[in-house]
Structure 1
């Protein structure tokens, strides 16, 4: 029977609390992600804002200061504790959370407690088009203004309480001026692919202490700008018998009329070992099911950590599995895509290699790319080598993506590359410290152009804000 993570234990606690919830019947509401402002239903013209890190309800007008408008703008993101709920991130990178039932603004510590305190589940509000925000870990309490201060109060079945705890999501008072992450919220280790003319993005869900996220989501786009969230595609809790958490660095490939998701996983029992698994689906957006019921590559079978899988398929149809932290390994996959001959595993660790192998082919040249340094380091970066085959030998060419401190960009790395189907146009998806208050466990995903020089070398990739 699958084990459960601490986050799931919180969910079970929530379920138990919900059984005693005295609130009237209310249906779940879906919120648009991205920048929004929240206007009070009972006090039109007053908006949720933060002042000295405390949540308030204050008037905001077109004539207000830029600071007031910014303080009344939040980005609605994937719930830190649950993908079916939401969190609210301020422009300074901090999150609305409740502590001692007072709503305030704090940095995400990544703990289960913080994630729960900063997650709100949306239900229908008191008037059409409005929402009420129930606490994830105290579902009998809702975000409510009291004397213009924001609190988490026990639900009361009165018109006044329902109005005071209902909000309209409006256009943001301070629209963002930079490109920012391509999907709102905390994500990392993105794998990008194109299937049948549509782009798909598969990232690690970030914001967890020790990177203990338990699930993967999928996003898709036709233009690399506007992305559709397809929800959870694989959850280690119910879907993988041998792993609970450490849902890291997925990679998806189409083959045999199906889609194969390669992933890292670990147990939430104090065992720090990580294994590689493979799951399969008939759709690029899942759901995926564990193909083997056991790891594809077990921890300790080869030097380094068994994480960060990547699959490259050559022009002759042969697919190769790459993986490794500390040491880089490659092996041809069998035609079933879920097995290989251990005798054919080769170690191909280049100088400076840390993790995140990625391989592509262009004009007969093979490019082996990787990340250097530690993902918690602002000097995390991408380097590459070239070679005559998927197995090398490899000639290191240097670093192609690194930090830009003048723009607040730190730790850009763990990337993947996709080619536009009908041209020699290439894009690179990667993560970086979330701007402006991110770190090695609060990261965001973005996409930039990748170009080649006339001699086939990769031009320096310019990370954009």
Structure 2
């Protein structure tokens, strides 16, 4: 893409913003409040071309007439899920289509593309909301090309400078925000490429700690945290630990973290360069610091890779650390949560185990969930076993989460489980290939209910969009 005369704005990190709520009414009624667009499914109606809406066709943005008698496909093409801007920015938003792709500009033309996770893509797919030409309408300014706005030109959508066709430009670039023609996608719950989610309920909120995805060879270095009061609207708390600048013994391959609370502190266990480390903080969103200055579980400590830690604190207060790839291990943690007796490390017998051990307790039963196959395979899935002890032995119970090609869902696994407070309501967080064109390094995070049969066994999870 050519640079604008002032150059492209540098985008170092994506930061999600929370937009204020606004009133959204039906088509042909009063529009949303000016200079804000509520998150969720929305449609955008042209201010000066009556009955025409922003839509995509053959992956290119344009405007077209949409009515109640239009086909389901046309209505879907004119519906976008509005999210906080992928590149951050106060009052900025991004637009995701039903097929999972995002509106972005390239060579100033607006089109749909799969989120590549790069700083360039995130910026190209972010638009900042401004007042429109008429009361209640909005304009969308390019995040990385200030002064250029999303506007229709010959029924095509471009980002053009406001000096273009001064007489009509303001109207050409103004939109009324309406209720969506069809319901938008519910997920992914985290906007962008994230995998290996560890979900936990801490200090009155739900938190997710994922792997930041989209890097060849899974070579990312940063860990982020997200929180929510309702499992629907998520706040991005930014980077809470960066291996490249905060850890002396690892600089990359920041994978699959987990968190525990004890001793009035939070203990963040993470994979770094195929070692397992621990960092601590007084806040679930950090900043986290390394109290050891070395790995807690070093590479080569046992057979297989020393990755995918999971910390579990039992109802009796005892804490355990599980981990492994190819082989599954567990060890009781000392009360300081950052040390253990190497003589107490056990190898677990878990049929088909590949990685991502995650234990939770319901009643008197311990559930060991884990991932099977390879994260790059569409057949990556979740199986589980049960026990009366956090150390086993474990009884294999079978598969609870697997692909659904009819919905385009591939490789759903690397799971974690959380219970809603004061209830017997449970949820499973996991990643899958980003839809529609993701793979083992381009994954997205979602959540579905986890339900139990009367005998305590887990029902198969129904993966949803």
Task: State TM-score, norm by structure 2.
Answer: 0.78
Shift in Å at residue 16 of structure 1?
9.5
Shift in Å at residue 419 of structure 1?
2.6
Alignment check: 8 A CA contact 1:33 1:184 kept: no
Q: Which of 43, 66, 75 is the aligned partner of 1:69?
A: 75
Would you say 1:297 and 2:293 are equivalent positions? no
Aligned Cα root-mean-square deviation (Å): 3.5
Return the alpha-carbon distance in structure 2 between the equivalents of residues 261 and 322 of structure 1. 13
Would you say 1:170 and 2:170 are equivalent positions? no
Shift in Å at residue 289 of structure 1?
1.9
2:330 aligned partner: 330
SS at match of 1:67: helix
Would you say 1:429 and 2:437 are equivalent positions? no
1:132 aligned partner: 140
Would you say 1:153 and 2:160 are equivalent positions? yes
Shift in Å at residue 188 of structure 1?
2.9
| Aligned pairs (5 A) from 1:304-383 | 304-348=304-348, 350-383=350-383
1:49 aligned partner: 55
Return the alpha-carbon distance in structure 2 between the equivalents of residues 206 and 347 of structure 1. 29
Would you say 1:192 and 2:199 are equivalent positions? yes
Return the alpha-carbon distance in structure 1 between the equivalents of residues 323 and 418 of structure 2. 19
Return the alpha-carbon distance in structure 2 between the equivalents of residues 120 and 203 of structure 1. 22
Return the alpha-carbon distance in structure 2 between the equivalents of residues 187 and 68 of structure 1. 30
Alignment check: 8 A CA contact 1:30 1:122 kept: no
1:450 aligned partner: 451
Deviates most, 155-164 or 127-136: 155-164
How many residue pairs get matched? Answer: 429
Would you say 1:282 and 2:289 are equivalent positions? no
Shift in Å at residue 358 of structure 1?
0.4
Deviates most, 208-217 or 152-161: 152-161
Shift in Å at residue 369 of structure 1?
1.6
Change in 2 beyond 3 A, CA 1:123/1:180: closer
Unaligned runs of 5+ in 2: 1-6, 13-34
Shift in Å at residue 313 of structure 1?
0.8
2:27 aligned partner: none
1:268 aligned partner: none
2:16 aligned partner: none
Return the alpha-carbon distance in structure 1 between the equivalents of residues 321 and 339 of structure 2. 10
Deviations 1:410-438 (A, max 9, x none): 32211112234334443322223345554
Shift in Å at residue 451 of structure 1?
0.6
Change in 2 beyond 3 A, CA 1:296/1:170: farther
Change in 2 beyond 3 A, CA 1:16/1:387: closer
SS at match of 1:289: coil
Would you say 1:90 and 2:97 are equivalent positions? yes
Return the alpha-carbon distance in structure 2 between the equivalents of residues 290 and 131 of structure 1. 43
Change in 2 beyond 3 A, CA 1:83/1:452: farther
Return the alpha-carbon distance in structure 2 between the equivalents of residues 38 and 245 of structure 1. 41
Deviations 1:126-176 (A, max 9, x none): 45662423144x456443333332223346496855554454443222223
Q: Which of 267, 270, 281 is the aligned partner of 1:263?
A: 270
Alignment check: 8 A CA contact 1:216 1:247 kept: no
SS at match of 1:70: helix
Change in 2 beyond 3 A, CA 1:445/1:147: same
Return the alpha-carbon distance in structure 1 between the equivalents of residues 327 and 193 of structure 2. 27
Deviates most, 212-221 or 88-97: 212-221
Change in 2 beyond 3 A, CA 1:55/1:339: same
Deviations 1:327-375 (A, max 9, x none): 2222222323233344443332523111111012234333222100112
SS at match of 2:9: helix
Return the alpha-carbon distance in structure 1 between the equivalents of residues 257 and 268 of structure 2. 6
Q: Which of 112, 121, 131 is the aligned partner of 2:118?
A: 112
SS at match of 1:384: strand
SS at match of 1:14: coil
Return the alpha-carbon distance in structure 1 between the equivalents of residues 349 and 143 of structure 2. 47
SS at match of 1:277: strand
